[in-house]
Amino acid sequence: MKLARVGEFGLIDRIQRLIVDESPDVVLGIGDDAAVLHPQKDRLILFTIDALVEGIHFNLRYSPFESLGWKALAINISDIVAMGGIPRHGVVSLALPASWKVEDVESLYRGLRRCSEAYDCVLVGGDTTRSLDRCCISVSVIGEVEEGNVKSRKGAQEGELLCVTGELGGARVGWEVLESDTDRGPFLKAVNRFLEPKVKLREVQELIAELNVTSMIDISDGLASEVGHICRQSGLGCILWEEKVPVAEETVIWADRRGESISRYIFTSGEEYELLFTVKKNDYERWKATQPIQKDLNFTIVGEMVKRDKGIHVKRGGEIVPLSSFGWDHFHQ
Amino acid sequence: MKLARVGEFGLIDRIQRLIVDESPDVVLGIGDDAAVLHPQKDRLILFTIDALVEGIHFNLRYSPFESLGWKALAINISDIVAMGGIPRHGVVSLALPASWKVEDVESLYRGLRRCSEAYDCVLVGGDTTRSLDRCCISVSVIGEVEEGNVKSRKGAQEGELLCVTGELGGARVGWEVLESDTDRGPFLKAVNRFLEPKVKLREVQELIAELNVTSMIDISDGLASEVGHICRQSGLGCILWEEKVPVAEETVIWADRRGESISRYIFTSGEEYELLFTVKKNDYERWKATQPIQKDLNFTIVGEMVKRDKGIHVKRGGEIVPLSSFGWDHFHQ
């Protein structure tokens, strides 16, 4: 059924049935001018917004509506997690062409709900409106963080280690596989990473409970770009050890098939939603000594922070070359 | 200069210079993964999101960029005010075609800043991305409210008075004047109301401090639609006294010139951002007796809440006619 037939209020009624906004800290959820929430005692509030725009971030030719819903919320939860926080509540603003079917919007909301349940981030409101021809999904999330636990981009210091969770490159591979209509079979992990990125909420909470993380950022625009943010905001330079950066097997196979360098995927693959962070060497060594040998650490040391005037460089084989910033930039391309 | 030339990070740098995000309760403002904020003690959090979509809510043929910025924030502040709250912080998500000029984005941010300063709602972050061809501006605002002061849509009771602030009809007149390229001279108030709606933050705070308001909603979709929300959520019906609804002179002149009924403007003019609310008769009488005779009350009684099974009716002259819901519906038209 087309949206034009069911109307805005009919749609809102259907959406409300799909969303569970009950939670002890929700005084008033969906259906009023604004949601009313109990703040957590002795916590700071984290507040972020991020959008998915049709034709830029997704293509309806291959992006399932449900995955869109998941991703629109997940990318915001990732921002909260990258600050050292826990997501609490989200609101959704949907601009939809009247040609969409009600079932499509319901699928999108099923994805939102699935993500909301996976990370315990309650959807408490939103706004649905028409758009002329393309869809835009904006989500805003608030979270909480203990005062001493805020992980900003500017806490890194000279001599600290630069670390990354997981493996990089997959999101870009997934996007290229989908864009080129290639058989997904051999690249399913990469495709899923692009369509429904997972957020390392529990992993990061464990990490910062055990290890003194001094700065953190999520990889949404690509490693090159995020390293630049940490360096600029912390007033430092950096040496990245390219060979140390973990890359998924699918990325190696795909880069080889395309005749592309793996570096390109390592440095420019955005929408990875892995975490890039810094720790003091001593803290890392002390902590490492307490870990069982067989334990998977879930992160890798990929570089070292240096003085600002040394700039940002990549160590590749025996060579050290300047990292020209080839991060994803939304207005260039 | 086109956005494509300055790039996303160049644009963000320019925007940061336009925005003042310093405030005692802002721990970390623009420029990290999420803003970090101190909550207000003993207050509940209000949380809302609302978008302006090109071609639906605005037309760049006549909407100045600065006004767009003002309005995108104001409509969210209005939602906070309609809950009985005070706005605190906002985040902005902009999806922009690469053909926009940097100066246009700066104008838009000047409007955001002006609105932010007018209502003391600090902009603490956001997200800027490309769009293929049209602009979408989503803003999310958090506010605060004392636990006993939450004004939802569902607190009205049978026999209570229905009241409205200000005068209705102007926003639709403003939109029609602009759409039809009519000389704005005689309709400046209406045009300004459409382009840069004012939010009655101080007036509402005064009102709820003096008078026991039992339910409240802002008029964003039109009086007919908002009355319906209060009735449905409070489980009531209503009689609207049409002749009592205050209408601006410009609306009367415009309706007359177009050969349209004034009712149409009264009931369907959305984006007014006046407040519709209910009070007990006794409370109103008691309060009225304490007011100086010459004092302008800033609101008008326009109806009475009745039992649900009596439905929603309009009293027009001696007649009582059912209000067919002719509120603005974003997917019909």
Output the average pLDDT for chain A: 92
The pLDDT of residue B120 is above 90: yes
Q: State which of A122, A149, A176 marks the end of a domain.
A: A149
Give the mean pLDDT of A306-324.
90
Query: Looking at CA atoms only, how far is residue A255 from chain B in angstroms?
Result: 27
Predicted confidence band of residue A328 (pLDDT cuts 50, 70, 90): very low
Predicted confidence band of residue B41 (pLDDT cuts 50, 70, 90): confident
**Domain annotation covers residue A327:** no
CA-wise closest residue to A89 among A17, A149, A24, A136? A24
pLDDT on residue B10: 78
Edge-to-edge strand order for the sheet containing A136-146? Answer: A122-131, A86-97, A136-146, A43-53, B35-37, B26-28
B239 at A interface, C-beta within 8 A: no
Q: What SS3 state is found at A292?
A: coil
Q: What are the tens digits of pLDDT across the range B143-191?
A: 999 999 999 999 999 999 999 999 999 999 999 999 999 999 999 999 9
**Among the partner residues B3, B47, B218, nearest to A35 by beta-carbon distance:** B47
R_g over Cα of chain B: 21
Instruction: Give A270's contacts in chain B (Cβ within 8 Å).
Output: none
Mutate to test the interface with B, among A33, A136, A144 (most CBs of B within 10 A): A33
Same domain? For B184 and B264 the reply is: yes
Number of Cβ pairs < 8 A linking chain A and chain B: 245
Instruction: Give A31's contacts in chain B (Cβ within 8 Å).
Output: 153, 233
**Domain annotation covers residue B10:** yes
Same domain? For B178 and B135 the reply is: no
pLDDT on residue A1: 80
pLDDT on residue B36: 94
DSSP codes, B8-32: HHHHHHHHHHH-----TTEEE-TTS
Give the mean pLDDT of A22-32.
88
Q: What SS3 state is found at A64?
A: coil
Portion of chain B with pLDDT greater than 70, in percent: 97
Q: What SS3 state is found at B304?
A: strand
Same domain? For A137 and A188 the reply is: no
Q: Which residue of A has its CA nearest to B137?
A: A138
**Domain annotation covers residue B229:** yes
The pLDDT of residue B325 is above 70: no
A131 at B interface, C-beta within 8 A: yes
Same domain? For A81 and A166 the reply is: no
**Among the partner residues B32, B134, B233, nearest to A132 by beta-carbon distance:** B134
CATH number for the domain harbouring residue A96: 3.30.1330.10
Give the mean pLDDT of A265-278.
95
**Among the partner residues B8, B92, B152, nearest to A28 by beta-carbon distance:** B152
CA distance A111 to A69: 4
**Domain annotation covers residue A136:** yes
Portion of chain B with pLDDT greater than 90, in percent: 78
Same domain? For A130 and A186 the reply is: no
Same domain? For B126 and B206 the reply is: no
CA distance B33 to A155: 14
Q: Which residues pair with B314 in a beta bridge?
A: B240, B321
CA distance A199 to A287: 24
**Among the partner residues B34, B49, B83, nearest to A36 by beta-carbon distance:** B83
Is residue B123 within 8 Å of B113, Cβ to Cβ? yes
Query: Looking at CA atoms only, how far is residue A294 from chain B in angstroms?
Result: 33
Residue carrying the six token digits 């933050």: B201
Domain that holds residue A70: 3-149
Same domain? For B305 and B168 the reply is: yes
Predicted confidence band of residue B292 (pLDDT cuts 50, 70, 90): confident
Query: Looking at CA atoms only, how far is residue B294 from chain A in angstroms?
Result: 33
- CB crowding B178-213: b at 16 or more within 10 Å, else e: beeebeeeebebbbbbbbbbbbbbebbeebbeebeb
- CB crowding B253-273: b at 16 or more within 10 Å, else e: ebbeeeeeebbebbbbbbbbb
- Complex ipTM, two decimals? 0.93
Q: Which residue of B has its CA nearest to A96?
A: B331
Q: Which residues contact B12 (CB under 8 A, 6 or more apart)?
A: B128
- Of A16-20, A200-204, A256-260, B138-142, where does mean pLDDT reach its minimum? A16-20
CA distance B50 to A94: 9
Q: Which residue of A has its CA nearest to B129?
A: A330
* Residue scoring higher pLDDT (A31 or B251): B251
**Domain annotation covers residue B60:** yes
pLDDT on residue B330: 41
R_g over Cα of chain A: 21
Same domain? For B113 and B256 the reply is: no
A201 at B interface, C-beta within 8 A: no
Is residue A163 within 8 Å of A278, Cβ to Cβ? yes
Query: Looking at CA atoms only, how far is residue B81 from chain A in angstroms?
Result: 9
- CB crowding A296-314: b at 16 or more within 10 Å, else e: eeebbebbbbbeeeeebbb
The two structure tokens encoding residue A10: 């009919």
**Domain annotation covers residue A261:** yes
Portion of chain A with pLDDT greater than 90, in percent: 78
Q: State which of B149, B180, B208 marks the end of a domain.
A: B149
Q: Which residues contact B304 (CB under 8 A, 6 or more apart)?
A: B159, B160, B161, B162, B238, B239, B241
Instruction: Give A6's contacts in chain B (Cβ within 8 Å).
Output: 331
CA distance A52 to A138: 6
Contact: A55, B138; criterion CB under 8 Å: no
Is residue A115 within 8 Å of A70, Cβ to Cβ? yes
**Domain annotation covers residue A79:** yes
- Of A63-67, A236-240, B235-239, B265-269, where does mean pLDDT reach its minimum? B265-269
Same domain? For B19 and B108 the reply is: yes
Give the mean pLDDT of A11-24.
80
CA-wise closest residue to A267 among A314, A218, A303, A202? A314
CATH number for the domain harbouring residue B182: 3.90.650.10
Q: Which residues pair with A54 in a beta bridge?
A: A58
The pLDDT of residue B9 is above 80: no
Instruction: Give B93's contacts in chain A (Cβ within 8 Å).
Output: 49-51, 138, 140
Work out how many domains chain A is built from and give that number: 2
Same domain? For B145 and B197 the reply is: no
Mutate to test the interface with B, among A135, A140, A145 (most CBs of B within 10 A): A140
The two structure tokens encoding residue A106: 């319901």
Q: What are the tens digits of pLDDT across the range A84-113?
A: 999 999 999 999 998 899 999 999 999 999
Is residue A178 within 8 Å of A59, Cβ to Cβ? yes
The pLDDT of residue A21 is above 90: no
Q: State which of B116, B149, B182 marks the end of a domain.
A: B149
CA torsion angle for A241, A174, A219, B141 (degrees, to 10)? 170
The pLDDT of residue A127 is above 70: yes
Across chain A, the runs of DSSP E, i.e. the strands, are 26-28, 35-37, 43-53, 86-97, 122-131, 136-146, 161-165, 213-218, 236-241, 275-279, 299-307, 312-316, 319-322
Same domain? For B196 and B138 the reply is: no
Task: Write down the pTM of the prediction.
Answer: 0.94
**Among the partner residues A46, A132, A136, nearest to B95 by beta-carbon distance:** A136
Residue carrying the six token digits 């100045």: B64
The pLDDT of residue A329 is above 70: no
Q: Which residues contact A185 (CB under 8 A, 6 or more apart)?
A: none
Same domain? For B168 and B66 the reply is: no
Mutate to test the interface with A, among B140, B146, B234 (most CBs of A within 10 A): B140
Q: What are the tens digits of pLDDT across the range A219-267?
A: 999 999 999 999 999 999 999 999 999 999 999 999 999 999 999 999 9
The pLDDT of residue B218 is above 90: yes
**Domain annotation covers residue A34:** yes
pLDDT on residue B328: 38
Contact: B38, A45; criterion CB under 8 Å: yes
Mutate to test the interface with B, among A45, A131, A139, A146 (most CBs of B within 10 A): A45
Output the average pLDDT for chain B: 92
Predicted confidence band of residue B22 (pLDDT cuts 50, 70, 90): confident
